[in-house]
Amino acid sequence: MSKRWNVYVTRMLPQPAIDLLKEYCDVEINPDDQVLSHEELLTKVKGRDAVLCLLTDTIDDEVFAAAGSQCKLFANYAVGFNNVDVEAATKRGVMISNTPDVLTDATADLAWTLLFSVARRVVESDKYLRDGKFQGWGPMLLLGRDITGKTLGVIGTGRIGGNFAKKAKGFEMKILYNDVTPNPQFEAETGGVYVDKETLLKTADFISVHVPLLPSTRHLISTNEFKLMKPTAILINTSRGPVVDEKALVYALQTNEIWGAGLDVFENEPAVEPRLLECENAVLLPHVASATIDTRTNMGLIAVRNILAAMQGAVPPTLVNIEVLRAKESNKA
Ligand code: DGY
């Protein structure tokens, strides 16, 4: 029987995950439903065996040092882990896990929600009605853009990009995609055609971005990319905010270089570029792509299962830095 681990959870999570964790571990949870300051985080992680952290926590080398050398795992409650310095973790022998798969459908669904909302001016129409402006059906009232039969451009063909594209089937869309290399599985599952980024930007009616945030993907969509897009194009971003240059996007929206944009993520969350708030042709959501009761519960359960596996000396099922184990093996040898 392994010793009960001492685990810190940086913010309240769905109860089933907390209940499972408490069954096997001694748990302290941040009692406030808000992000801890870096100083608070440094204090709270001290002496823990594992930490269950969120994408809003910056987990850097200072945090690993503060946690102490007994700390084995930081279980990140997100599929993306750009908030964690994985290299520093690996150097210190700390495992990092994430929560893939369980949020794929919810995130792809929300990308579609944004696509529909922008194309059919859903938010604007709702506001129009609530503002008491609806005087009856009008032939020119709130005209949007067709979706069925149009061309979908998918940038990034991992789990979420692939799932998003598969869902286009019912709308008889032509799919173009771009990624670092062609993806035969994506092609087989979606009928997508690999094109260079420029062709995709010039041709697609809807462009949806599904890449991780890396130095190479920061501002992947910026001034030059907007210039290539059609004036009728709609950009969707549910990946990470800094992938889209927000200032360039504001310019593109204000000058009608593109038709509209749907964003769930922002460059400097929770801050949003103020001029973006004034763009009626943008639908802006507060990073809720995985925010369904089932998905958030399952994310919590996966994070906890990673902690329990590590506690029993097993490999956490969704370990991000597998190299950490190799380093341990070669130290033993
Ligand atoms: C993730 O898991 O990376 C998502 O952005 C969370 O909503």
Residue 269 lies in a domain: yes
Tell me how far the alpha carbon of residue 293 lies from the centroid of ligand 1, in angstroms: 14
Which ligand 1 atom minimizes the distance to the CA of 81? 3
> Of 88, 99, 84, nearest to 41 (Cα)?
84
Span 295-320, pLDDT tens digits: 999 999 999 999 999 999 999 999 99
> Of 172, 211, 217, 213, nearest to 191 (Cα)?
172
Q: Using the Cα atoms of residue 196, residue 200, residue 202 and residue 207 in order, give the sign of their dihedral.
A: negative
Span 153-210, pLDDT tens digits: 999 999 999 999 999 999 999 999 999 999 999 999 999 999 999 999 999 999 999 9
Question: Secondary structure of 233-283 in the HEC alphabet?
Answer: CEEEECCCHHHECHHHHHHHHHCCCCCEEEECCCCECCECCHHHHCCCCEE
Q: What is the mean pLDDT of the chain?
A: 97
CATH no. for residue 31? 3.40.50.720
Cis peptide before 270 (omega within 30 of 0): yes
Into how many domains does the chain fold?
2
Same domain, 58 and 131: no
Same domain, 117 and 85: no
Catalytic, 269? Answer yes
Residue 233 lies in a domain: yes
Tally the residues of the chain.
333
Residue ranges making up the domain that contains 64: 6-101+293-332
Same domain, 224 and 250: yes
Give the SS3 label for residue 208.
Answer: strand
For the whole model, what pTM was predicted? 0.95
Among the options 48, 121, 240, 305, which is catalytic?
A: 240
Pocket of ligand 1 (CB under 6 A): 55, 78-80, 103, 289-290
Which ligand 1 atom minimizes the distance to the CA of 299? 2
Which ligand 1 atom minimizes the distance to the CA of 79? 2
Provide the pLDDT for residue 1: 55
How far, in Å, CA of 17 to CA of 5, rounded? 16
